[in-house]
A and B are shown apart, each in its own frame.
Chain A
Amino acid sequence: MKEDVVICRCEDITYGEIVDAVRGGLTTTEEIKRILRCGMGPCQGRTCSRLIVRIISQETGVPVAEVRFPVVRPPSRPVEIGVMAAGGPPDGNPSGGEYDAD
């Protein structure tokens, strides 16, 4: 029953999946995020991170205060591409140059 409780609402990740991940060796929020996608959705972990920290603490015995939170990345809330694109590229030059990545 508890296993089916959804912890990450953006990506539909359950309590059971997170416990399995921690028991499988993913003992930080960063690792769990990269494998299960918790914290990668629209809320960017604002809902689930604290819950995941508690699950990690519970499973590993590491005090909550010592469990690392995931890095918070911009933008602070999702923003439309059209909004950021308005006004053209900031330096007026759409080309990034010669060694542009993939």
Chain B
Amino acid sequence: MRTSADCVIIGGGVVGTAIAYYLAKRGMTDCVIVEADYLSSGATGRCGGGIRQQWSTEANTRLAIESVRLFAGLEDELDADIEFLQGGYLVLAYTEEDEEQFKKNVELQRGLGLDVQILSPADINEKVVPELNVEGVRMATYCAQDASANPFLTTQAYADAARRLGVSIELFTPVTKILTERGRVAGVETARGTIRAPLVVNAAGSHSVPIAATAGIDLPITPYRREILVTEPLERFFHPMIISFSFGIYFRQVKHGAVIGGYGDPAEPPGFNETSSLKFLRTMSWKLSHLMPRLNNVKVVRQWAGLYDMTPDAQPILGELDELPGFFQANGFSGHGFMICPKVAVLLAQAITGEEPDLDIERLSARRFTDGRITQDRSVV
């Protein structure tokens, strides 16, 4: 293992590997990724793989549009199959509040160039998903360019491309301490030795909190379990990711044919719990059976859980910390890290190498929690 580097990235999820790749692409090839377990063993590898551009604030919509643009070119750029599919996102409204908010969202999204349609329940069945039970659905928004990809393959592709450019990846290497010297970050101490570096990126999801705490830094991130399941494979019968904030569900059919999906239980207590529950299996089965009756005869083969690293405004913490120069954060993605990862990673690589980021990430710096500039996005799920 190297004992020094220009930059150490903590976390071998999609965010850490992507940052390493974009840093190396900019010429900063002397980087080391340190991962406590294996690649995409944390939140990345447990997520549903959706890539949505339909947000309710301009800043988040722009970030998502740019990420889809990067995702669309990623298989060529990284020379790997990541199962990228622009199958669209169908967002179902069940309440009046949903409906009012969605109309505002669509106006904003169209203003930014996104092709979003408003569909009546009949339109949903005629144009997008014939077999969806639209009982109780008031309307839906649909963006055919929204997408999905395989989180494992995406992370592996970024990691392999980063390695080809000279980046080292140390798996099974938990970080035990952030090193500081004269008020700056100085590297990391790991279970396998010390790596000195003037730049350290904390991209460890919920585990970013205990890691930052070793330098006396308190990140406003709370872990929450989120559960998910997958069925046996079926011949493709629908294309979009189908989600609803008010009904509480997201599900899609992956390339391999399986249906994968979950929902968040608002009663879930905070904590590092990654076990599976019978309550989830029963509730999720009921939701799928209600929305897609043909799934009644389809078998669930596996369920699992992962952690959302929730911040107070459900938006990530990005950029250098004022209290510890050289220590960058890329965490607190609050359940939507995979979908915005490519652009976020580019912006961080720009910030780390001293370039001017080409989209505003200052609004997502940790500073917002102390100077009260928090803006809520109503499409955070």
A residues contacting B by CB (< 8 A) are 28, 30-31, 34-35, 37, 40-42, 44, 73-75, 78-85, 87-91, 94-102
Question: For the complex, what is the distance from the CA of A84 to the CA of B276, rounded to whole Å?
Answer: 15
A81-B231, A81-B296, A82-B296 given; A41·B38 CB < 8 A? no
Within 8 Å CB of A102, what residues of B? 48, 50, 52, 89, 241, 243, 250, 335-336, 381
**Within the complex, what minimum Cβ distance (angstroms) separates A26 from chain B?**
8
- The answer to whether B296 touches A95, judged by C-beta atoms less than 8 angstroms apart, is no
Query: What sequence of 0s and 1s flags, for each residue 262-290 of chain B, a beta carbon within 8 Å of any chain A beta carbon?
Result: 11111100000000101101110111111
Check if B110 is an interface residue, CB within 8 A of chain A: no
* Shortest Cβ distance from B296 into A: residue: A82
**Within the complex, what minimum Cβ distance (angstroms) separates B331 from chain A?**
17
Within 8 Å CB of A40, what residues of B? 230, 301-302
Interface of B is mostly: mixed
- The answer to whether A101 touches B282, judged by C-beta atoms less than 8 angstroms apart, is no
**Within the complex, what minimum Cβ distance (angstroms) separates A71 from chain B?**
8
- The answer to whether A44 touches B301, judged by C-beta atoms less than 8 angstroms apart, is yes
Question: For the complex, what is the distance from the CA of A64 to the CA of B38, rounded to whole Å?
Answer: 19
- The answer to whether A85 touches B249, judged by C-beta atoms less than 8 angstroms apart, is no
Within 8 Å CB of B266, what residues of A? 96-99
Residue from B250, B289, B295, B302 having most chain A Cβ neighbours under 10 A: B302
* Shortest Cβ distance from B136 into A: residue: A94
Which residue of the partner chain, among A34, A89, A96, contacts B40 with CB atoms under 8 Å?
A: A34
Within 8 Å CB of A35, what residues of B? 152-153, 156
Which residue of the partner chain, among A74, A81, A85, contacts B276 with CB atoms under 8 Å?
A: A74
Within 8 Å CB of A91, what residues of B? 279, 283
**Can you report 11 residue pairs joining A to B where beta carbons are below 8 Å apart?**
A41-B301, A75-B303, A80-B297, A85-B285, A85-B288, A85-B290, A85-B296, A91-B279, A96-B263, A97-B264, A101-B48
Check if B256 is an interface residue, CB within 8 A of chain A: yes
Within 8 Å CB of B50, what residues of A? 102
**Within the complex, what minimum Cβ distance (angstroms) separates B162 from chain A?**
13
Within 8 Å CB of B308, what residues of A? 101
Question: For the complex, what is the distance from the CA of A90 to the CA of B267, rounded to whole Å?
Answer: 14
Question: For the complex, what is the distance from the CA of A45 to the CA of B244, rounded to whole Å?
Answer: 33
Which residue of the partner chain, among A74, A81, A84, A100, contacts B264 with CB atoms under 8 Å?
A: A100
Within 8 Å CB of B290, what residues of A? 85, 94
- The answer to whether B226 touches A42, judged by C-beta atoms less than 8 angstroms apart, is no
Check if B112 is an interface residue, CB within 8 A of chain A: no
- 16 additional A-B residue pairs with CB within 8 Å, beyond A30-B38, A40-B301, A100-B263: A31-B38, A42-B232, A74-B278, A74-B302, A80-B296, A80-B297, A81-B299, A85-B289, A96-B264, A96-B265, A99-B264, A100-B248, A100-B381, A101-B250, A101-B264, A101-B335
- The answer to whether A100 touches B298, judged by C-beta atoms less than 8 angstroms apart, is no
Within 8 Å CB of A41, what residues of B? 301
Question: For the complex, what is the distance from the CA of A101 to the CA of B244, rounded to whole Å?
Answer: 9
* Shortest Cβ distance from A78 into B: residue: B299
Question: For the complex, what is the distance from the CA of A30 to the CA of B39, rounded to whole Å?
Answer: 10
Check if B369 is an interface residue, CB within 8 A of chain A: no
Question: For the complex, what is the distance from the CA of A56 to the CA of B358, rounded to whole Å?
Answer: 45
* Shortest Cβ distance from B302 into A: residue: A73
**Within the complex, what minimum Cβ distance (angstroms) separates B330 from chain A?**
20
Question: For the complex, what is the distance from the CA of A71 to the CA of B331, rounded to whole Å?
Answer: 26
Question: For the complex, what is the distance from the CA of A75 to the CA of B232, rounded to whole Å?
Answer: 13
Check if B380 is an interface residue, CB within 8 A of chain A: yes
- The answer to whether B152 touches A34, judged by C-beta atoms less than 8 angstroms apart, is yes
**Within the complex, what minimum Cβ distance (angstroms) separates A36 from chain B?**
10
Question: For the complex, what is the distance from the CA of A37 to the CA of B81, rounded to whole Å?
Answer: 14
Which 5 A-B pairs give the minimum distances between C-beta atoms?
A: A96-B248, A97-B266, A82-B296, A84-B285, A78-B299
Question: Which residues of B in the span 28-57 have a Cβ within 8 Å of any Cβ on A?
Answer: 38-41, 45, 48, 50, 52
Question: For the complex, what is the distance from the CA of A82 to the CA of B265, rounded to whole Å?
Answer: 21
**Within the complex, what minimum Cβ distance (angstroms) separates B336 from chain A?**
7
Question: For the complex, what is the distance from the CA of A91 to the CA of B256, rounded to whole Å?
Answer: 33
Question: For the complex, what is the distance from the CA of A35 to the CA of B261, rounded to whole Å?
Answer: 20
A30-B38, A74-B303, A97-B264 given; A37·B298 CB < 8 A? no
**Within the complex, what minimum Cβ distance (angstroms) separates B258 from chain A?**
8
**Within the complex, what minimum Cβ distance (angstroms) separates B32 from chain A?**
16
A74-B276, A78-B232, A90-B282 given; A99·B41 CB < 8 A? no
